[in-house]
Amino acid sequence: MKKFCPALLFLLCMLFFSACSTVPYTGRAQFLIISTAEENKMGDQAWQEIKKKERLSKKRKYTLAVNRVGRSISAVSDRPDFKWEFKTFESKTANAFCLPGGKVAIYTGIFEYISNDAELAAVMAHEVGHAIARHGGERVSQGMFQQGGATAVSMVAGAKYKEMALMAYGVGSNVAVMLPYSRTHEYEADHIGIMLMAKAGYDPRYAISFWKKFSKASTTNSLTEYFSTHPMGANRVTKLKELLPKAMQLYDKAKNKKGPGTKY
């Protein structure tokens, strides 16, 4: 039998634990190879590409709402290292995302399912939830781990870097393959999202009304690109209802209660 090397075991343990972190709000342990700084850099690069490609919306009603709600959500998200930006892109497609580093995009198509600031807050807080839970970084880490260290280094250094970041964050209609978020990540973003919107002073019951409307649309509307990156769990609304009492506690404590907020 081969002799066991305690030093090697120690090193492996160190590597593993240094790569583990805990998701805020849910407490789930996650495996991350890349640092927040690397992740934010990836987000930034992807964001520059997207801004070149997409058309900014001129509909003031929507751009003002995205800024207003975005500022409220970011203020309670506890990420002072993020350089927040909120953009509204003109598109028939219902889509939304938040890149690491706090770059949030809303596509005007999603307003078809949104009737007030609180429902917009549900969408934006869900996306911010993916970012602060570092789901993109987790997917990049999983990809790197599967492909092995050497490939990972060349990927980080090379042109594949940006492409991979875009895929990992579920962004970009110019990308052939978009990785869908897993159900675990979806429920986690819902969990964080409903708490964040409540902390920001939006009535968390509007998260349920939004997802109900939106889930129904998934069977009738083919323009919701969102569904390809955000798979719908049948239990989504049930799970949100379970979280509602806790979210209501946060809402009750919120300094600046807005209820449904501005109606559109």
Q: Which residues bind Zn ion (CB under 5 A)?
A: 189, 230
Backbone conformation region of residue 201, classed left if phi is above 0, alpha if psi is from -120 to 50, else beta: left
CA distance 193 to 1: 52
Taking the complex as a whole, the smallest distance from the CB of residue 153 to Zn ion amounts, in Å, to 30
Of 79 and 230, which CB lies nearer to Zn ion in the complex structure? 230
Of 139 and 230, which CB lies nearer to Zn ion in the complex structure? 230
Cβ neighbours around 203 below 10 Å, total: 24
Taking the complex as a whole, the smallest distance from the CB of residue 126 to Zn ion amounts, in Å, to 6
Taking the complex as a whole, the smallest distance from the CB of residue 5 to Zn ion amounts, in Å, to 43
Of 85 and 190, which CB lies nearer to Zn ion in the complex structure? 190
Of 87 and 230, which CB lies nearer to Zn ion in the complex structure? 230
Structure token pair of residue 24: 């805020």
Of 62 and 211, which CB lies nearer to Zn ion in the complex structure? 211
SS3 state at 106: strand
Taking the complex as a whole, the smallest distance from the CB of residue 230 to Zn ion amounts, in Å, to 4
The secondary structure of 163-229, three-state, reads HHHHHHCCCCCCCCCCCCCCHHHHHHHHHHHHHHHHHCCECCHHHHHHHHHHHHHCCCCCCCCHHHH
Contact 131, 100 (CB under 8 A): yes
Taking the complex as a whole, the smallest distance from the CB of residue 74 to Zn ion amounts, in Å, to 17
